[in-house]
């Protein structure tokens, strides 16, 4: 039986999450603090970071901001993006994360990616030890395929553990999660906190086209994001979303986040930005009501992925 995720004082986890990947990087300490405060004002109490974010600055800044309010916040970090999911690497990384956060424990510890080289028994025995020591309260997995999650669920159960939260990529132009991950999570009762609801900025409407070099941002500056969102149809969908947003008198970013949040699974989108000003349209999605008709209209702007069986005639 999974225990619902809440803060140490029992405050329920907020519907929306804030991702601190930019803290100490594109967002300096002042901008990071302003975004943290804006999230609190909007009712967000779930904050997500990772060992690898901004060489540790993300965890350090989040720890400073969260300290006076620790008991009513849900703090998540991640381990094992690099170095594998073996016992030594998890323990070393997590000890460093706790030192940076200046916290004895965190509410959620994610495995940042699946490690095919390390036996899952070693990984989950290590996580069980951390939970028994009250250093973690919940376990999550990120960047896992559905079969990897289910294999992990089985091994975790042998260690007396549950996997309580899943963090996949999901947005209007990255919908692979709909095929197996989201149905699996619903079946297993696993909360989903999808990252990149804005598609690395593509779905904000700030880019003119696939060859636009005039705008500063991750799609223009980061080769990984440029490759991830480099297909022409994605830009066509983004432009179409912008047109819908103009018609409705709302930001394209608001619609993009609201669309993810409107998934029937009641997912918990991870919002992020470089400044409080940039964050505003995403926060506005918290109180934006997306009608069923609008949801279907936006959904139709991008291809629906084929079912896992690939039997299109049965859709």
What CATH number is given to the structural domain containing 103? 3.20.20.100
In a domain, 92, yes or no: yes
Token pair belonging to 115: 């490690």
- Total domain count for the chain? 1
Q: What's the CA gap between 149 and 183, in Å, rounded?
A: 12
- Beta carbons within 10 angstroms of residue 273's beta carbon: 24
Task: Tell whether 101 is covered by a domain.
Answer: yes
Does the pLDDT of residue 214 top 70, yes or no?
A: no
Query: Would you state the pLDDT for residue 140?
Result: 98
Sheet holding 106-111, edge to edge: 191-192, 163-167, 136-142, 106-111, 74-79, 46-48, 17-19, 270-271
Question: Could you read off the pLDDT of 156-191 as tens digits, one per residue?
Answer: 999 999 999 999 999 999 999 999 999 999 999 999
Q: Would you say residue 85 lies in a domain?
A: yes
Active-site hit among 51, 53, 170, 288: 53
Domain that includes residue 47, residue range:
17-202+253-290
> Is residue 87 in a domain?
yes
Strand partners, 139: 109, 163
Question: Per-residue pLDDT tens for 61-120?
Answer: 999 999 999 999 999 999 999 999 999 999 999 999 999 999 999 999 999 999 999 999
- The pLDDT tens digits for 44-61 are 999 999 999 999 999 999
Query: Is 61 within the bounds of a domain?
Result: yes
Q: What is the pLDDT of residue 263?
A: 97
Q: Which 8-state DSSP code applies to residue 151?
A: H
Please report the pLDDT score of residue 67 as a whole number. Answer: 98
3-state DSSP assignment of residue 218: helix
Looking at every residue in the chain, the average pLDDT score rounds to 95
Give residue 125's pLDDT band: very low, low, confident or very high (50, 70, 90): very high
Question: For the ranges 46-50, 132-136, 230-234, which has the lowest average pLDDT?
Answer: 230-234
DSSP 37-49: HHHHHTT--EEE-
53 is catalytic: yes
């Amino acid at each position: 039986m999974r225990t619902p995720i809440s803060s140490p004082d029992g405050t329920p986890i907020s519907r929306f999450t804030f991702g601190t990947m930019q803290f100490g990087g594109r967002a300096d300490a002042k901008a990071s603090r302003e975004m943290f405060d804006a999230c609190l004002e909007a009712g967000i109490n779930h904050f997500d970071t990772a060992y690898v974010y901004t060489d540790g600055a993300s965890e350090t800044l989040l720890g400073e901001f969260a300290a006076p309010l620790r008991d009513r916040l849900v703090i998540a970090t991640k381990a094992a993006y690099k170095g594998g999911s073996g016992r030594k690497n998890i323990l070393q990384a997590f000890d460093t994360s706790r030192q940076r956060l200046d916290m004895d424990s965190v509410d959620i510890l994610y495995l940042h990616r699946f490690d095919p080289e390390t036996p899952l028994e070693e990984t989950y025995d290590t996580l069980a030890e951390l939970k028994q020591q009250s250093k973690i309260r919940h376990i999550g997995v990120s960047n896992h395929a559905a079969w990897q999650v289910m294999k992990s669920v089985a091994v975790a159960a042998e260690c007396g553990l549950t996997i309580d939260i899943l963090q996949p990529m999901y947005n209007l132009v990255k919908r692979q999660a709909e095929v197996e991950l989201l149905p699996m999570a619903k079946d297993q009762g696993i909360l989903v906190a999808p990252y990149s609801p804005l598609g690395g900025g593509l779905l904000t409407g700030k880019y003119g086209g696939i060859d636009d070099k005039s705008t500063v941002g991750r799609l223009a500056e980061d080769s990984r994001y440029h490759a991830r969102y480099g297909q022409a149809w994605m830009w066509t969908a983004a432009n179409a979303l912008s047109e819908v947003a103009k018609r409705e008198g709302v930001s394209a970013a608001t619609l993009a986040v609201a669309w993810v949040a409107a998934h029937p699974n009641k997912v918990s989108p991870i919002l992020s930005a470089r400044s409080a000003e940039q964050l505003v349209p995403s926060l506005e999605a918290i109180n934006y009501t997306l009608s069923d008709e609008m949801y279907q209209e936006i959904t139709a702007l991008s291809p629906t992925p084929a079912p896992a069986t690939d039997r299109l005639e049965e859709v």
